[in-house]
Chain A
Amino acid sequence: MSKKYERQIDDKDESFGNNEGGERKIDFEDFDLNSSTGEMATAPSNAVRNTGYIPPAAYVSSPTPPQRQATSPATPQPYVPPTAQTLYSPPTVPTETEPEQLFGQGPTAVGVDQLIPPKPKPPVRIWNIEYYQFLFDVDTRDVAIRILRSLSPLPAGFFDTVGDKPDLWGPLWISSTLIFTLAVLGNVTTWIKFHFNNQDPDNQWNYDATKLGIGAGVIYGYLGLIPLLLWGACKWFKIELGYLQAVCLYGYSLFIFIPITAVNVISYTWLHWVSIAIATLISACFIVFNLVGIFRPHMGTGAILLLVAFILHAGLGIFQVYFFVAGSVTIKTS
């Protein structure tokens, strides 16, 4: 790399610089004009100071933050012959004050007080809340897409949709909504059944406050434990599955139970069983088919793991019938 600089400096003479006589009016060559944080360019500027030659911004190569880099430093950059425009333009007051606009536009002469680099942000450590923002790095649109994918039992690449941004928003709030819905609509359903079925005026319907507790325990416990077990099993058998991705998969698979819970307010027992069977099937197939892609190289142990996951999820689904049929009625026995 240094050879290229030397070559450029050899090719040019002072007539290309913007300062005749070697004086430097503005020290902007001390700054890396490609970097949005305005870092100091290091080695090349040393070479520049000796000759007074100011290279075009394309050649200044201090380390830039990767996400803002236009070209990688490893690729040789094409030689762009400097024109009068790139070397000098009359000082203007820039209208924008963003660092990208100020420092990313090539050697434009700007006011000296606007060359102050912005303060570096303090590092985010594990005890700052901001450290955990990567767990919630989704937009409304992303969540909506993931939810819609979870409604289909066909293999459709859920992990491709998630990409490398598995989120915890979905699992957390879908499971909380499911718990709340089961508790509320479970009680509403038993109330409706009592109201329409009860012949004996001495019987009473009681609000079953345990449904919330049981629901929370089962669903939060399932969501906390089963992905952990799955991840542990994958680690054991050397299968690649991230913990967050497993939680994401299980969390979004619970979504379909929420509308089914609403359907189950219609208080026919056969409807309970049929609707929950359909929901369980869709949900379990969603989980299994999306895991198949990951387990394909390890089909022996993978098949057993998939079977166990399927059975456990079916258990969770069938268990939800409890919320709608467990009556909360005290019968007066006289």
Chain B
Amino acid sequence: MMQNMDVEDQPAQAEPTKMNTLDEPVLSTLWRDISRVGYKLFHVLIPRGYSEKALRDWDLWGPLVFCLALALVLGGDLAVQVFIIVALGSIVITLNSILLGGKVSFFQSVCLVGYCIFPILLAAIICTFVNIPLGSKSWAIFFNIGFAAGGFVWSVWASVGFLSAAVPDHRRLLAIYPVILFYAALSWLVLISYKQTGGRGTIGGSSSSGNSTTPTNGTLSNGL
């Protein structure tokens, strides 16, 4: 008798919630996901005591959005390289941690690596804006180097905290090193985009997709 009453109660309870999520305005649906991504991002980038709880419900929206944004900002040939590096790189880093004996869930680790791309995305955006007025100066490349390096250091610092806790103590560096390589590759792409978009002057460097690169060993390899 009690069970029958429960079964009858359930549909009446289920329907109001179903109608709520269908009826709610689109903005609130979007905002729920965006706020979740923002919450996780905040806790990943500025690590505090309870950051690990924030990552426990992983999602891949954040990494996808950041990867897309980075590809758009860098543009051109580099977009494809960004996708390949981010996709393959997160998988390989996660597999590396698990194979070294780390007790880390696969998607949680992919989520973490993807979220920590954000500083490099910031660096790419800042570099793009800095290159617009400064692109013709030959010393502008040092700004690019500085921002790319800063993004790299911040990304590595953010992800090291989580990953090193997951792996046994004696193997910490073995698990962290691929992360360093991964973010170094992405930062290098950010640096290279300077050549694609901004740099002119004695260094040259209009976009390389149109030009044919003819190797000219003769003129350059005479030594300095």
Contacts and interface: CB of A to CB of B under 8 A. Distances in A.
5 shortest A-B CB distances, which residue pairs? A204-B204, A139-B170, A136-B99, A327-B220, A206-B208
Interface string B164-190: 000000111110011001001100100
A193 B223 CA distance: 8
A129 B211 contact: no
A75 interface: no
A86 to B, nearest CB: 37
Given A133-B99, A327-B216, A173 B178 contact: yes
A190 B220 CA distance: 8
Contacts of B196: 207
A301 interface: no
Contacts of A141: 170
A191 B181 CA distance: 22
Would you call the interface of chain B mostly helix, strand, loop, or mixed?
helix
Contacts of A328: 213, 215
Contacts of A133: 99-101
Interface string A202-224: 01111111100000000000000
A330 B214 contact: yes
A325 B217 contact: yes
Contacts of A267: 223-224
B72 to A, nearest CB: 19
17 contacts: A129-B95, A139-B174, A140-B170, A173-B178, A184-B188, A194-B220, A203-B204, A205-B203, A206-B205, A209-B77, A210-B213, A267-B223, A267-B224, A325-B220, A327-B221, A329-B214, A331-B216
B10 interface: no
Contacts of B222: 197, 269
B110 to A, nearest CB: 14
B98 interface: yes
Contacts of B195: 206-207
Interface string A107-139: 000000000000000000000011011011011
A195 B220 CA distance: 10
A270 interface: yes
A268 B223 contact: yes
Interface in B132-154: none
B202 interface: yes
A149 B174 CA distance: 18
A203 B204 CA distance: 7
A169 B174 contact: yes
A177 B223 contact: no
A327 B185 contact: no
Nearest to B206: A204
A173 B217 CA distance: 31
Given A139-B170, A180-B184, A206-B208, A329 B100 contact: no
A309 to B, nearest CB: 28
B217 A206 contact: no
